[in-house]
Amino acid sequence: MTEAPAPEWKKTACVLCGSTCGVLVQLGGKDGREIVRVRGDKAHPGTKGYTCNKALQLNYYQSGKDRLDSPLRRRDDGSFEKIDWDTAIAEIAQRFMAIRDEFGGDKVLYYGGGGQGNHLGGGYSPAFRRAIGSRYRGNALAQEKTGLSWVFDRMVGGFYHGDFEHCQTAFLVGKNPWQSNGFPRARVTLRQMAKDPNRKLIVVDPRITETAELADIHLRVKPGRDAWLLSAILGQLVQQDLIDHDWLAAHAGGHDEVIEALRDIPVADYAAFAGIPMAQVEETAEILGHTDSLSVLEDLGIEMAPNSTVNSYHCILLFLLTGNFGKIGAVNLPAQLVSIFSADRISDQRDEAGHEVGYKTTPVTNSRIISGLVPCNMLPDEILTDHPDRFRAMLIESANPVHSLADAKRMREALGALDLCVVIDIAMTETAREADYILPAASQYEKTEMAFFNFEFPENCGHLRGPLMAPLPGTLSEPEIHARLLEAVDPFDPADLEPLHQAAADGLDAYATAFARAAKGNPKINQYGAYVLYRTLGPSLPDGMAEGAALWAISQMFAATEGLSLARAGFDGPPATAGNKLFSALIEAQSGVVFSIDEPDASFHRNRLPGGMVNLHIPEMLDKVKELATFEAAETSDEFPMVLAAGERRSYTANTVVRDPAWAKSNNALTLSINPGDAADLGINDGGTARLTTARDSVEVVVEVDKRMQAGHISLPNGFGLSYPDSNGNDVVTGISPNELTAIEDRDDFAYTPWHKFVRARLEAVGGR
């Protein structure tokens, strides 16, 4: 009997974190729709065959039992009924238009637009949003990165990233790349760094993480006191004259004011307050001041903690004061096909203290809008009010704010108060359960997709992924959903698009000419550009790649602004020609494509600040640095004597697109970690049950005694507390949802980012230890 041939290996990428490592997969199972084998793609130019253990579990995402296969409409009794797509689109469009006509389209908030591996679909949403007059948007970046975004726009003129492959010294703050990556081939790079006596790895983290175990210096800061530690290091750099005066004179402005302030830092006192021996601060400063190249990476450990925005300010000062910007191995501004951060407008208006005024704010609470995003922590207060400008409707795409945002109960209450809530997702998420309509999307492996976390330097790589299989029957891709919604609200005359259909059949050059001509004669062509590309260029692309049509415009814009970097990557010629070459390469490769190769000085050219000069003086932030002298830190209390890190990345936790708890191969993925001394004092044994209480809720947890935790510091994993059907079809919640425990008022006073990593808590033994 002839043995059946082995399944073909297909190129795609992992979607469980922002690194989106290139992988090869084999399909099998029922109808060939399951991912049965996964391995790293050695031909991928960005990740070169690397993948962590999590990619091996991709089928838990693709084959989830809670996939949706029909539009759903909420009944009066709260249950859902299946409806057909035509009915769903017509009713949803009509209800959005009714809100627009009665209250104004600005009362419709768009939230989401993609997770860590699927940004392409959200790029098609602006057409429908413009048609109904929706002006406000938000996503999970506004609970993580907006403080960082605000300072980097004002200091280096754009998004920065470290060159960890080539750096001599890496400084990681609140970041554990062993589990959460953050740069390509993270575990390989960390091991190489640890083995090389000429390189240094410095980690700031309260916990002894897997990355900290590899570090040359682990600064085991007290939870919530990172600002004092970072200020101490900066003060030591200045006071010991370890800064690069010549570099600052040539490339920077505003440094004199900052240096003067840092001369007054009581370094030893700040170090002690942060729980760090002075000798470690001295050693760290010596390394940073003398290294040939420094790369800095911060993440949620400080961005979801007290003083998050000033912490981001500190991190940028570290590499600017030492002259580690705009060179190989240091911090750079990468060439990006699409920036995930909208450039923040720097206001020309100032108050007496030099602080910006006149910036854009939210309609009800007047909260600062950064990078175009409504702050997540303020969403409920923008809805649960009788204010005439409150948000009355939300369109939520590929996002689960009920689970991911602080104070889940209040978020559920806010969604319930809306006149209309529409969710686009592949599964019955916690947010979908609160919706009026649910529109089922194809999975990330059933359509063309791409992530725009392209941050590397000097070579940057993008990966447009083709579909591995047809969409699950009853589902549509997000571009198709947005297209149908637009057509129900503001349709085109077919005759307006026919010339573009014909031109697309004649090739990209002919299409470019036809598009320019059509746009000149019809303003709707540009207004709804992504839709037009999808409907006219999309059908001419290889089978299943229609969703990639918007990348044509992106490629053209990239060629117009980054022609030299693009040419070094092999895509030369006039901008229109180079853009077409890049687009064709992305469509044809369906794998990683190097789209930019930079010279060391590229970052100065990308810097949007005047003259390409960096800026160190932000009055708002320097004032906050000076306020640290009061030693007023977020503190625990007798009622809540412990600090809970609500959402730690572990070996079997990732983003919540994987909802099946079976993917967790160890109990560690579900347990609360605690220091052995604390466990003994509380009478809790390893594997025992305890009651965890915060200001918001109280839950029972299984405890894991972990010597890597500081005394007084406990942690729960991220990614659990999700509802998922058991073998009998009954929904069961496994693990703890961290945001049932977090408080919405615990947030940064500038960017409003939540304190998920600093939740005041109490732990008590339950029953027989």
For 643-658, give one letter per residue: b (16+ CB within 10 A) or e. Answer: bbbbbbbbbbbbbbbb
- Res. 4: pLDDT tops 70: no
285 vs 236: CA distance, rounded Å: 6
Helices (H) and strands (E) in the chain, counts: 27, 29
The tokens for 369 are: 């809008």
Longest CA–CA span in the chain (Å) reads 86
Say how many Å lie between the first and final Cα of the chain, rounded: 60
- Res. 409: pLDDT tops 60: yes
- Res. 2: pLDDT tops 70: no
- Res. 667: pLDDT tops 70: no
- Please give the average per-residue pLDDT across 400-408, as a whole number: 96
In the sheet where 169-173 sits, what is the strand order?
Answer: 217-219, 200-204, 169-173, 294-298
Angle, helix 529-536 to helix 478-489, in steps of 10 degrees: 110
Confidence at residue 343, expressed as pLDDT on a 0 to 100 scale: 83
- Please give the average per-residue pLDDT across 615-643, as a whole number: 98
- Please give the average per-residue pLDDT across 574-579, as a whole number: 97
- Res. 428: pLDDT tops 60: yes
- Res. 656: pLDDT tops 90: no
Percent above pLDDT 70 for the chain: 99
110 vs 242: CA distance, rounded Å: 47
Helices (H), 331-451: 379-383, 401-404, 408-417
pLDDT digit string, tens, across residues 331-368: 999 999 999 888 888 888 999 999 999 999 999 999 99
766 vs 437: CA distance, rounded Å: 41
pLDDT digit string, tens, across residues 444-486: 999 999 999 999 999 999 999 999 999 999 999 999 999 999 9
3-state secondary structure of 37: strand
pLDDT digit string, tens, across residues 231-273: 999 999 999 999 999 999 999 999 999 999 999 999 999 999 9
The tokens for 294 are: 């420094």
Phi/psi zone of residue 78: left (φ > 0), alpha (ψ -120 to 50 degrees), beta?
left
Confidence at residue 1, expressed as pLDDT on a 0 to 100 scale: 52
| Poorest-pLDDT segment among 112-116, 616-620, 696-700, 737-741 | 112-116
Confidence at residue 769, expressed as pLDDT on a 0 to 100 scale: 44
- Please give the average per-residue pLDDT across 149-155, as a whole number: 97
Phi/psi zone of residue 350: left (φ > 0), alpha (ψ -120 to 50 degrees), beta?
beta
- Res. 668: pLDDT tops 80: no
Percent above pLDDT 90 for the chain: 93
143 vs 139: CA distance, rounded Å: 8
**Residue 64 φ/ψ, nearest 5 degrees:** -60, 140
Q: If pLDDT is split at 50, 70 and 90, which confidence band does 651 have?
A: confident
- Res. 768: pLDDT tops 60: no
The tokens for 634 are: 């977020």
**Residue 97 φ/ψ, nearest 5 degrees:** -65, -35
Confidence at residue 692, expressed as pLDDT on a 0 to 100 scale: 98
- Please give the average per-residue pLDDT across 549-556, as a whole number: 97
Q: If pLDDT is split at 50, 70 and 90, which confidence band does 378 have?
A: very high
23 vs 186: CA distance, rounded Å: 15
Partners of 762 in the β-ladder:
693
Q: If pLDDT is split at 50, 70 and 90, which confidence band does 644 have?
A: very high
43: amino acid identity, one letter: A
pLDDT digit string, tens, across residues 190-227: 999 999 999 999 999 999 999 999 999 999 999 999 99
If you average pLDDT over every residue of the chain, what do you get? 96
What lies within 8 Å, CB to CB, of 58 at 6+ separation is 14, 15, 16, 23, 25, 35, 38, 445
Q: If pLDDT is split at 50, 70 and 90, which confidence band does 48 have?
A: very high
